[in-house]
């Protein structure tokens, strides 16, 4: 089976969120199932990892996007530690920037052009390589145009190879749909009949995602619960009707995590390794983390952490009002995140008020994210909605018990610890309120004081298996079904 996996971000090359983790790990797991799988991503100038910028694998080529012509070239590398090829598609004017999609909180005004170029260039890459995949697997709005070009572009319809390619489209987050003014359609070479309510038109805009939801052969999203939720008005972001119409082609597959990166037994970022059998290293990780974050070195005081994009999705509107109340308890709190300036400001101000007990790190820092997973006792994830969520899965593996809201992938991966604490891996609340979150934190704090029960819950959490193997098999089954 030949699969081309296409993503706007792929770890470790470039990452803004969970999509990159998936795109860096799932293809390796699929390759281990015997597939000929390759990855394509934009050749951002910010990528420093070896591979990007290596010798071009194809000669320069003109790629037409609407009336504009862009020069494209391709370099190649591999997903680290694997034979999976990665093709980086370059165009200096479009991808030599400081950010992936935005800068200083503002989306680039030519994002439609940038990703239309990327999607068209992928088709040219396929022709240039003389390697036609059976399936192109696209992800989120930046690659949503690919199935649309494949199914509607007259030049593609004349090309028997391209025409035969099937498509899988994965929704990692329905809230980001790639909405652009309707005149964008002509600018990127889409036929006028696509700008209608039964096609890509969406409340006066065009929606890349809507087009792909209509035209891809199979749709997936990243957890079974989110697959159901997005068919409701509450979670459907205006596309629930489209998704209900395609319910028989929509599948929810929980993301796995990459245990070669996120595992306290091998993690090269943390000061001491540990496992469910020998937790001594976790104590050292906590001490070092408290020191690094300027928190009081207090081994017995529970340390709660948040690692998150600072966006309303992540539950900050119920968490931030709770901080003064939490500071009345015997606990420490550390928040690592970047995002909306008002959240950053509020968190930094709280941390300044509670020096030694609360830390705010308003940066994107992968090494610190690892150290926080290892050094903390509890992980807070009070998301309003959460397609899958990775941090709760990392937390389980690091014995950092998660406190989560029952939604999306959080509901599918964390099990409530029972009253007699004989089963379960974390603490779950339902209502999207500060009060419900506080009640769940209180449960966690109570169990923390019962050292033996806490230890047993940590072991249960750490011994769960969320590796990619099982999820990759499900994708493999879907691919087979499609072919």
User: Considering only 143-151, 278-286, 302-310, 415-423, which stretch makes contact with ligand ADP by CB under 6 A?
Assistant: 302-310
DSSP code string of 381-444: E--S--SS-SHHHHHHHTT-EEEEESSHHHHHH--BPPTTSSS-SBEEE-SSSHHHHHHHHHHH
| Site stretch for ligand ADP (CB under 6 A), options 30-38, 86-94, 96-104, 303-311 | 303-311
* Cα gap 403→426, rounded to integer Å: 6
Q: Is 400 in the site for ligand ADP (CB under 6 A)?
A: no
Q: Which stretch binds ligand ADP (CB under 6 A): 34-42, 144-152, 227-235, 358-366?
A: 358-366
- Whole-number Å distance between alpha carbons of 408 and 390: 12
Nearer to ligand ADP, 38 or 370 (CB): 370
DSSP three-state, residue 125: helix
Residue closer to ligand ADP, measured from CB, 307 or 462? 307
Q: Name which of residues 3 to 42 contact ligand ADP (CB under 6 A).
A: 17-18, 21
Sign of the CA dihedral with 26 first, then 32, 35, and 41 last: positive
Find the shortest distance in angstroms from Cβ 222 to ligand ADP: 8
In angstroms, the CA 212 to CA 359 distance is 42
**8 Å CB contact between 371 and 285:** yes
**Residue 365 or 433 with smaller CB distance to ligand ADP:** 365
Among residues 105 and 241, whose Cβ is nearest to ligand ADP? 105
Instruction: Identify whether the C-beta of residue 478 lies closer than 8 Å to the C-beta of residue 218.
Output: yes
Question: Can you tell me which of 390, 396, 404, 428 binds ligand ADP, judged by CB under 6 A?
Answer: 390
Do the beta carbons of residue 164 and residue 170 sit within 8 Å? Answer: no
Closest to 145 measured CA to CA, from 102, 204, 185: 185
Report if residue 369 touches ligand ADP, rule: CB under 6 A.
Answer: yes
Residue with Cβ nearer ligand ADP (215 or 428): 428
Chosen residue from 78, 276, 365, 467 binding ligand ADP by CB under 6 A: 365
CB nearer to ligand ADP: pick between 127 and 309 = 309
**Cβ nearer to ligand ADP, comparing 215 with 318:** 318
Is the distance from CB of 211 to CB of 200 less than 8 angstroms?
A: yes
Residue nearest to ligand ADP (CB): 18
Q: Minimum distance between the CB of residue 315 and ligand ADP, rounded to whole angstroms?
A: 12
Region of 124-132, 187-195, 278-286, 304-312 interacting with ligand ADP (CB under 6 A): 304-312
* Residue 13: closest CA among 30, 31, 27: 27
Decide whether 111 or 338 has the Cβ nearer to ligand ADP. 338
Note whether 252 binds ligand ADP by CB under 6 A.
no
Q: Using CA atoms, how far apart are residues 286 and 374, in angstroms rounded to an integer?
A: 7
Of 308, 384, 443, 458, the residue at the interface with ligand ADP (CB under 6 A) is: 308
Applying CB under 6 A, does 389 fall inside the site for ligand ADP?
yes
Sign of the dihedral defined by the CA atoms of residues 255, 259, 265, 269, in that order: negative
Q: How many Cα neighbours within 13 Å face the side chain of 406?
A: 9
Q: Is 364 in the site for ligand ADP (CB under 6 A)?
A: yes
Closest listed residue to residue 43, CA positions, set 98, 91, 115, 97:
91
What is the binding site for ligand ADP (CB under 6 A)?
17-18, 21, 307-309, 336-338, 364-366, 369, 388-391
């Amino acid at each position: 089976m030949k699969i081309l996996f296409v993503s706007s971000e792929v770890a470790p090359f470039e990452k803004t969120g969970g999509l990159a983790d998936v795109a860096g790990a799932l293809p390796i797991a699929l390759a281990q199932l015997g597939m000929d799988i390759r990855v394509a991503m934009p050749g951002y100038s910010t990528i420093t990892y070896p591979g990007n910028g290596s010798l071009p694998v194809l000669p320069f080529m003109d790629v037409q996007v609407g009336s504009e012509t862009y020069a494209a070239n391709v370099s190649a590398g591999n997903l680290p530690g694997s034979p999976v090829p990665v093709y980086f598609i370059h165009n200096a004017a479009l991808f030599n920037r400081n950010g992936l999609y935005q800068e200083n909180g503002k989306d680039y005004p030519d994002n439609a052009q940038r990703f239309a170029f990327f999607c068209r260039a992928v088709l040219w890459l396929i022709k240039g390589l003389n390697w036609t995949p059976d399936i192109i697997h696209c992800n989120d709005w930046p690659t949503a145009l690919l199935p649309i070009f494949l199914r509607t572009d007259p030049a593609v319809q004349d090309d028997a190879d391209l025409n035969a390619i099937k498509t899988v489209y994965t929704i990692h987050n329905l809230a980001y749909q790639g909405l652009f003014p309707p005149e964008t359609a002509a600018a990127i070479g889409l036929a006028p009949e696509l700008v209608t309510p039964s096609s890509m038109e969406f409340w006066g805009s065009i929606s890349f995602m809507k087009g792909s939801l209509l035209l891809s052969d199979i749709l997936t999203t990243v957890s079974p619960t989110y697959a159901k939720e997005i068919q409701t008005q509450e979670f459907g972001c205006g596309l629930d009707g489209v998704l209900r119409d395609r319910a028989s082609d929509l599948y929810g597959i929980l993301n796995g995590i990459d245990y070669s990166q996120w595992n306290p037994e091998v993690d090269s970022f943390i000061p001491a390794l540990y496992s469910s059998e020998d937790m001594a290293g976790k104590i050292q990780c906590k001490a070092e983390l408290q020191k690094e974050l300027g928190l009081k070195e207090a081994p017995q005081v529970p340390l709660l952490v948040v690692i998150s994009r600072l966006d309303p999705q992540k539950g900050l509107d119920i968490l931030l009002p709770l901080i003064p109340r939490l500071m009345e308890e015997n606990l420490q709190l550390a928040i690592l995140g970047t995002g909306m300036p008002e959240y950053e400001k509020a968190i930094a101000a709280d941390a300044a008020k509670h020096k030694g007990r609360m830390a705010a790190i308003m940066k994107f820092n992968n090494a610190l994210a690892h150290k926080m997973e290892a050094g903390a006792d509890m992980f807070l994830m009070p998301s309003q909605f959460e397609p899958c969520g990775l941090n709760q899965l990392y937390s389980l593996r690091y014995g950092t018990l998660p406190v989560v809201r029952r939604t999306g992938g959080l509901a599918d991966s964390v099990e409530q610890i029972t009253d007699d604490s004989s089963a379960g891996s974390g603490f779950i609340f339902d209502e999207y309120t500060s009060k419900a979150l506080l009640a769940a934190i209180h449960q966690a704090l109570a169990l923390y004081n019962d050292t033996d029960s806490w230890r047993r819950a940590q072991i249960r959490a750490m011994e769960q298996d969320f590796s990619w193997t099982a999820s990759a098999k499900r994708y493999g089954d879907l691919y087979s079904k499609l072919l």
